[in-house]
């Protein structure tokens, strides 16, 4: 499967910057989810961002880092 690491980074960057972008990305990737990302760390970050979004948790760097470390 072809990889576009810049596209993956751009999507994740948008999700980090705008909480509303997370819902849009989830809708677009609804069937694939994290599997749409080729890089494992991108999959993990996607999963964390979606979990925080669904749980209506803060999206700051500390919370994200703590959740990534916890996993």
- pLDDT tens-digit series, residues 42-71: 999 999 999 999 999 988 999 999 999 998
Which pTM does this prediction carry?
A: 0.90
Residues 19-37: tens digit of each pLDDT? 999 999 999 999 999 999 9
Task: Kindly state the tokens that stand for 10.
Answer: 């751009």
Q: Give the helix/strand (H/E) hosting 63.
A: helix 61-70
3: pLDDT confidence band, cut at 50, 70 and 90? Answer: confident
């Amino acid at each position: 499967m072809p990889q576009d690491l810049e596209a993956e980074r751009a999507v994740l960057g948008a999700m980090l910057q705008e909480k509303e972008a997370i819902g849009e990305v989830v809708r677009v990737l609804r069937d694939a989810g994290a599997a749409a990302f080729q890089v494992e760390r991108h999959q993990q970050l996607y999963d964390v961002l979606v979990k925080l979004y669904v749980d209506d948790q803060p999206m700051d760097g500390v919370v994200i880092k703590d959740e990534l470390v916890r996993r």
